[in-house]
Structure 1
Amino acid sequence: MSNYFEFVSQELLIKLAQVKSYITKHNPTIGVLTEEILRGFLKDHLPQLVSVEQGFIINDKGELSKQCDILIYDSQLFAPLYRVNDIVVVPSESVLAVIEVKTTINKNIFHKVIDYFKSFDYLPNAKTYLFIFNSNSIEKIGDYFHSYEHKGSYQLFDHDTYQYLPDEITGINESFHLCKDSVITNTDMIGYSSWFYEDSKGSEINALQHFYSSIRRVVDSYIEKNYRSVNFKEKNDYRDLKLKSIFAIELFDM
């Protein structure tokens, strides 16, 4: 299974390279096609009880969200409220996950992503993800968090602002998968951690596998709760894997 996700990771990056070889001077189009590459992967690998599309979310007050690169929602119990071509508008109660997709990342883009996720404060039951194809290093991502300019004189995240950050951040080419976590060092902190494992054959569990396993757990938990039926059993029990290392980003005191 580890080798499979390594092959798929390389396939996704190759598809992106093919896009950029033909479309070299139009970043919006590259971004759209990048999103489609990841949507295609998720459509191929997730149960058909959920749909994977792009579009908007409308809450119970009638407020419309910003456009979402990828929405994973229950399309059996909730038909889209509106559809035009490949773009849907869905009710907030149908949404399981929101994924923001980036071809590359830098400080400015990352800070805009933080602001973007603030607008989804009415989705307490949906998980949020940032997926980066060609990411800077995990250390750089930490720097981007710490250079974010907050309103007011207190220039740190806190419990209120932390809840609006993406739940998980995946960098494919750098192969890291950050999750919100408590970080225990000399002091007890809140932030993100990325755990690096290898299987019994010594193959690393790469970022795409972590990302997919997380999405799949969200979907299967929802299906089990609402449909009383789930067929997926995760083949990679993390208790049977060897932990190689942990990287942590500390944001604020507990």
Structure 2
Amino acid sequence: MSNYFEFVSQELLIKLAQVKSYITKHNPTIGVLTEEIVRGFLKDHLPTLVSVEQGFIINAKGELSKQCDILVYDSLTYSPLYRVNDIVVIPAESVLAVIEVKTTINKNIFHKVIDYFKSFSYLPNAKTYLFIFNSSSIEKIGCYFHSYQHEGDYKLFDHDTFQYLPDEITGINESYHLCKDSVITDRDMIGYSSWFYEDSKGSEINALQHFYSSVRMTVDDYIEKNYRNINPQKPNSCSDLKLKSIFAIELFYM
């Protein structure tokens, strides 16, 4: 399975390279096609009970969200409230995952992504993901967090602002998958951690596999809770794998 996801990772990066080889001077189009690459991957691998599309979320007050690159939602119980071509408007209670896709990342883009995810704190079931094809190193991502300009005089994230950050951050080419976590060191911090595993053959479990496993687990947990007559086949967990190393980004004290 590890080799499979390594092949798929390379395939996704090749598809992106193909897009950029033909479309060299129109970044919005590159962005749209990059999102479609990830949507196609998820459509091929997630249970058919959910749909994977782009569009907007509307809450109980009738407020419309910012446009979402990828929405994973329960399409068995809920249908879009509105659709035009491949863009949908769906109710907040149907959403399982909101995924923001970036071709590349830098400090300014990362800070805009943090601001973007602030608007999704009201979602009852959803997890939020940042998916980056050509990412900065994991160390630079840590620097981007620490250079974020907070409102007012306070210069660090805290328990209130932490909830607005993406739940998980995946860097495909750098092969890391950061998850919100309690970072237990001699300072007991809250932040993100990336756990690096290998399988029984010594092959590294890459970032795409971690990303897929997380989205799939979110979907499967929702199915078990809401459709008790359906027993989804869950992907293998990391419990049978060998832990190689851990990287942590410390944001604030517990």
Range class of TM-score, shorter chain: over 0.9
Q: Residue type of the partner of 2:171?
A: G
Cα distance in 1 between the residues matched to 2:93 and 2:69: 18
Partner residue of 1:45? 45
Residue 77 of structure 1 corresponds to 77
Partners of 2:108 and 2:120 lie apart in 1 by: 20
Match of 1:135 in 2: 135
Q: Which amino acid aligns with 2:123?
A: L
- Three-state SS of the structure 2 residue aligned to 1:119 is helix
How does 1:13-32 map onto structure 2 within 5 Å?
A: 13-32=13-32
Deviation at 1:194, TM superposition (A): 0.0
Give the Å deviation of 1:121: 1.6
Matches within 5 A, 1:1-254: 1-228=1-228, 229-235=230-236, 237-254=237-254
Q: Aligned with 1:79: secondary structure?
A: coil
User: Aligned-pair distance for 1:231?
Assistant: 2.8
Give 4+ residue runs of structure 1 displaced > 6 Å after superposition. none
8 Å CA contact 2:43–2:52 kept in 1: the answer is yes
Contact 2:95 2:126 in 1 (8 A): yes
- Structure 1's unaligned 5+ residue stretches are none
CA RMSD of aligned residues (A): 0.7
**Cα displacement (A) at 1:81:** 0.2
Which amino acid in structure 2 is aligned with residue 17 of structure 1?
A
Count of aligned positions:
253
TM-score by length of structure 1 reads: 0.99
Q: Report the Cα distance in structure 2 between the residues aligned to 1:214 and 1:230, rounded to whole angstroms.
A: 17
- In structure 1, give the amino acid aligned to 2:33: L
Q: Secondary structure at the match of 2:202?
A: coil
One-letter amino acid matched to 2:187:
T
Contact 2:81 2:91 in 1 (8 A): yes
Report the Cα offset of residue 240 of structure 1.
Answer: 1.7
CA drift of 1:239 comes to 2.1
* Contact preservation (8 Å) 2:217, 2:234: no
User: Deviation digits for residues 163-190 of structure 1, max 9, x if unmatched?
Assistant: 0000000000000000000001121100
Distance 1:100 1:31 in 2: 11
State the identity %.
86
Quote how far apart the aligned CAs of 1:234 are: 2.0
Query: How far apart are the structure 2 equivalents of 1:251 and 1:148?
Result: 11
Deviations 1:223-243 (A, max 9, x none): 1111111231323x3222111
Q: For residue 14 of structure 2, what is the amino acid of its counterpart? A: I
Structure 2 unaligned residues grouped into runs of 5+: none
Task: Determine the C-alpha separation between the residues in 1 that align with 2:166 and 2:199.
Answer: 28
- Please give the alpha-carbon distance, in whole angstroms, between the structure 2 residues aligned to 1:141 and 1:191: 12
